[in-house]
């Protein structure tokens, strides 16, 4: 008998014509890891919630959920609560929301243990500490007394896993457990799950949109599309011989670092954007009696961008890449350094730049829906920049301009009358790109422009940008945390760490032979959509320090190749073999 057996699960809502999950069958054996993949809206999370009995009351659920031969459907909440606690547990995407902000981590764990009478009051503390150690939280005594906001994202997710494991369940459902984390931290958390499975024999239902995560962590996988089962089988078989067309598309859209990038548009030698020694500092709110301090988030960064070139900027969250983007376009004023566009030095703030300069430097934001005004229709949103920069155009000429850019963006003209909330994420991002492109800028800065989108949609947006680049010789600064995206579209890659450049190299060189240990760690942390590959368990320990820059090389506390010199002396950016790298050991290390 399987540990979990779901038969003919159908979930529907009165407001929706189609069921969100339609006659789904799935089963999990003891100790097995099953990956549930699908794009957003495919019904993955609804399935998990149905198994847990956590669906909203107005959802209609049909079909059977058998846990260890025991029907879970139609039980009272009180019974389910007891049953669930000891046998199945769930970890959510956002640990910040799943943990109680007013309770210390230890206290939350203790309450769970006492509520379900796992231990008595006297033994609770020791058991909590043991759980915290088991999820490899450093300094368990201190974490016991920490509040959730005092922990980093990765540590919070570990605490969440400790909470889920408190009652020693037999099945753990993890819903996108690492989507909100950086790749390096994602690798750490996934490795923890692997080790816990080996230790306790717990079964895992891993829900994710990332085929790489499934390939590296699950023996069996199940693909979903629009609420229906797409395909299931052993991970190796599905990757090798996908039966469905849709699965093939999903696999093709899963970008891989080991695949050579497609042909990118040619680059001219003409520099269009020149950034010299740019620094951004933020003033921190004064705490208590301390004097107000400021924190450097971008430090003396320089680079240039040629016409028609794509520069990828990568780094973990908090490395200053978004602040850099905002300083380039002038949304925040840089504290030092300069930005020049076609040889003209730009004012620090966008308000002080000339209309021509503004027009030539445009930006696309991460959240496509938030970057469109909710009260304006698509037509007005795209027409606004035209009306502003070319007021002499007649209404017809303006409408023609809007229609043309919309066509190039692959959008139907009927969308002009829609409001942003009526668009899908991909459509909204195309509208945001159209608004920027309608001005025919020379440089477009994309800040995580595809991070919120699903694999196939992401692919089509990248294709759109490349087509535009071929057409008009547009230069792109593409900021992302996703190395696979950078691999596909960029000519050169800039790796940022704590506000500075760790490495700046050609796409081919960087991926073939990283020169900086940090680049190397980032590369090997990316989950590859290739079940044959044996991934490196934990490419880099720890997380980016929240405050306080370490002396010497900023990366040295996490670096595997650290020397005494790295702790004292800040490495300068220098050329090694045609690559700009800031590492003392760049020549001697072979990081392939």
Partner 1 sequence: MRGLATAGALRQVTGGAAVRVSAGILIVITIAALFGPSLSSHDYFSMNLPERLEPPTLDNARFFGTDDLGRDLFVRTLSGTRVTLLVAIVASFVSLVLGVAYGAVAGYAGGKVDAFMMRIVDALYALPFIFLVILLMVAFERNFLLIFVAIGAINWLDMARIVRGQTLSLKEREFVAAARLIGVPPVVIVFRHIVPNLLGVVVVYITLTIPQAILVESFLSFLGLGIQEPQTSLGALVNGGVSHMERAPWMLLIPASLLAVVLMSFNFLGDGLRDALDPRLKGR
Residue 376 in the binding site for partner 1 (CB under 8 A): yes
Q: Which is nearer to partner 1, 311 or 445 (CB)?
A: 445
Q: Which is nearer to partner 1, 159 or 439 (CB)?
A: 439
b vs e for 305-329, b when ≥16 Cβ sit within 10 Å of the residue's Cβ?
A: bbbbbbbbbbbbebbbbbbbbbbbb
The minimum distance between CB 395 and partner 1, in angstroms, equals 10
The minimum distance between CB 418 and partner 1, in angstroms, equals 10
> Total number of residues binding partner 1 (CB under 8 A)?
39
Please pick, from the candidates 320, 385, 517, 552, the single residue that binds partner 1 as defined by CB under 8 A. Answer: 385
468: nearest Cα among 440, 435, 432: 440
Element (H, E) at 505: strand 500-506
Strands (E), 53-150: 60-67, 70-71, 88-91
CA distance 440 to 205: 47
Subset of residues 300 to 359 that bind partner 1, contact rule: CB under 8 A: 329-331, 350-351, 355, 358-359
Please pick, from the candidates 25, 367, 463, 508, the single residue that binds partner 1 as defined by CB under 8 A. Answer: 367
Strands (E), 374-456: 443-447
Please pick, from the candidates 94, 219, 384, 506, the single residue that binds partner 1 as defined by CB under 8 A. Answer: 384
CA distance 306 to 391: 31
The minimum distance between CB 287 and partner 1, in angstroms, equals 22
Q: Which is nearer to partner 1, 311 or 372 (CB)?
A: 372
Please pick, from the candidates 150, 279, 300, 380, the single residue that binds partner 1 as defined by CB under 8 A. Answer: 380
Q: Which is nearer to partner 1, 152 or 380 (CB)?
A: 380
Residue 13 in the binding site for partner 1 (CB under 8 A): no
The minimum distance between CB 388 and partner 1, in angstroms, equals 6
Residue 388 in the binding site for partner 1 (CB under 8 A): yes
The minimum distance between CB 332 and partner 1, in angstroms, equals 10
CA distance 59 to 16: 10
Q: Per the structure block, which two tokens stand in for 191?
A: 């490795």
Per-residue mark of binding to partner 1, 518-547 (x: CB under 8 A): ------------------------------
CA distance 49 to 93: 13
The minimum distance between CB 544 and partner 1, in angstroms, equals 24
Partnered with residue 303 across adjacent β-strands are: 275
Please pick, from the candidates 389, 470, 509, 513, the single residue that binds partner 1 as defined by CB under 8 A. Answer: 389
Q: Which is nearer to partner 1, 479 or 505 (CB)?
A: 479
Residue 286 in the binding site for partner 1 (CB under 8 A): no
Look at residue 499 and give its three-state secondary structure: coil
Subset of residues 420 to 479 that bind partner 1, contact rule: CB under 8 A: 421-422, 432, 435-436, 439
Look at residue 501 and give its three-state secondary structure: strand
What are the Cα distances from residue 23, in Å, to 53, 60, 70, 250?
A: 17, 13, 20, 22
Edge to edge, the sheet with strand 271-283 lists 294-306, 271-283, 336-341, 344-345
The minimum distance between CB 364 and partner 1, in angstroms, equals 9
Cβ-contact 113, 163 below 8 angstroms: no
The torsion angles phi and psi of 26, rounded to 5 degrees, stand at -155, 155
Please pick, from the candidates 108, 157, 360, 362, the single residue that binds partner 1 as defined by CB under 8 A. Answer: 362
Stretch that binds partner 1, among 258-266, 304-312, 368-376, 575-583 (CB under 8 A): 368-376
Residue 571 in the binding site for partner 1 (CB under 8 A): no
What are the Cα distances from residue 98, in Å, to 5, 92, 94, 101, 102?
A: 27, 7, 7, 9, 12
Element (H, E) at 329: helix 321-329
Q: Which is nearer to partner 1, 313 or 363 (CB)?
A: 363
Per-residue mark of binding to partner 1, 411-430 (x: CB under 8 A): --------x-xx--------
The minimum distance between CB 317 and partner 1, in angstroms, equals 17
SS3 per-residue string spanning 129-176: HHHHHHCCCCCHHHHHCCCHHHCCHHHHHHHHHHHHHCCCCCEEEEEC
Please pick, from the candidates 69, 343, 374, 548, the single residue that binds partner 1 as defined by CB under 8 A. Answer: 374
Task: Dump the DSSP string for 302-328.
Answer: EEEEETT-EEEEE--TTSSHHHHHHHH
Q: Which is nearer to partner 1, 80 or 350 (CB)?
A: 350
The minimum distance between CB 24 and partner 1, in angstroms, equals 27
Look at residue 296 and give its three-state secondary structure: strand
Applying CB under 8 A, the residues found at the interface with partner 1 are: 15, 329-331, 350-351, 355, 358-359, 361-363, 365-367, 370-377, 379-381, 383-385, 387-389, 419, 421-422, 432, 435-436, 439
């Amino acid at each position: 008998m399987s540990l979990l057996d779901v038969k003919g699960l159908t979930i529907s809502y009165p407001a929706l014509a189609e069921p969100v999950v339609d006659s789904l069958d799935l089963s999990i054996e003891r100790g097995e890891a099953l990956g549930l993949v699908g794009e957003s809206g495919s019904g993955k999370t609804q399935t998990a919630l149905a198994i847990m009995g956590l669906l909203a009351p107005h959802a209609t659920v049909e079909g059977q959920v058998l846990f260890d031969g025991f029907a879970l459907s139609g039980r009272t909440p009180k019974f389910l609560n007891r049953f669930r606690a000891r046998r199945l547990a769930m970890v959510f995407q956002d640990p910040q929301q799943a943990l109680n902000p007013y309770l210390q981590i230890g206290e939350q764990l203790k309450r769970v243990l006492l509520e379900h009478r796992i231990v008595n009051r006297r033994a609770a503390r020791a058991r909590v500490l043991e759980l915290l150690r088991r999820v490899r939280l450093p300094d368990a005594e201190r974490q016991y007394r920490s509040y959730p906001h005092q922990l980093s994202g990765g540590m919070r997710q570990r605490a969440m896993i400790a909470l889920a494991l408190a009652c020693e369940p037999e099945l753990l459902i993890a819903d996108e457990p690492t989507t909100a984390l950086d790749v390096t931290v994602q690798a750490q958390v996934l490795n923890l799950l692997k080790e816990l499975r080996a230790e306790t024999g717990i079964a895992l239902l891993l829900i994710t949109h990332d085929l790489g995560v499934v390939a590296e962590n699950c023996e069996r996988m199940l693909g979903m599309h629009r609420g229906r089962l797409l395909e299931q089988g052993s991970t190796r078989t599905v990757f090798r011989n996908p039966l469905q067309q849709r699965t093939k598309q999903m696999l093709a859209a899963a970008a891989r670092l080991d695949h050579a990038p497609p042909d990118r548009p040619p680059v001219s030698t003409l520099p269009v954007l020149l950034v010299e020694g740019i620094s951004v500092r933020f003033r921190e709110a004064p705490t208590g009696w301390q004097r107000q301090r400021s924190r450097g988030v971008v430090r003396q960064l320089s680079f240039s961008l040629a016409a028609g070139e794509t520069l990828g900027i990568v780094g973990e969250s908090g490395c200053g890449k978004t602040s850099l983007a905002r300083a380039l376009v002038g949304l925040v004023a840089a504290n030092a350094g300069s930005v020049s566009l076609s040889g003209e030095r730009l004012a620090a703030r966008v308000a002080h730049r000339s209309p021509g300069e503004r027009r030539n430097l445009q930006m696309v934001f991460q959240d496509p829906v938030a970057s469109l005004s909710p009260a304006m229709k698509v037509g007005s949103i795209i027409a606004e920049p035209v009306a502003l920069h070319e007021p002499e155009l007649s209404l017809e000429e303006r409408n023609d301009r809007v229609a043309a850019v919309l066509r190039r963006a692959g959008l139907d003209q009927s969308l002009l009358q829609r409001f942003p909330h009526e668009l899908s994420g991909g459509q909204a991002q195309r509208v945001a790109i159209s608004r920027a492109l309608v001005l025919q800028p020379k440089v477009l800065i994309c800040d995580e422009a595809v991070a919120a989108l699903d694999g196939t949609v992401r692919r089509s947006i990248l294709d759109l940008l490349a087509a535009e680049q071929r057409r008009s010789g547009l230069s792109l600064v593409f900021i992302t945390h996703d190395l696979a995206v950078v691999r596909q579209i960029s000519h050169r890659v800039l790796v940022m760490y704590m506000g500075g450049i760790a490495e700046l190299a050609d796409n081919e060189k960087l991926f073939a032979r990283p020169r900086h240990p940090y680049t190397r760690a980032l590369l090997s942390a990316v989950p590859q959509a290739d079940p044959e590959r044996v991934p490196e368990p934990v490419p880099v320990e720890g997380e980016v320090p929240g405050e306080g820059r370490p002396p010497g090389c900023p990366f040295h506390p996490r670096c595997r190749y650290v020397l005494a010199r790295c702790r004292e002396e800040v490495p300068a950016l220098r050329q090694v073999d045609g690559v700009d790298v800031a590492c003392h050991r760049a020549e001697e290390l072979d990081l392939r």
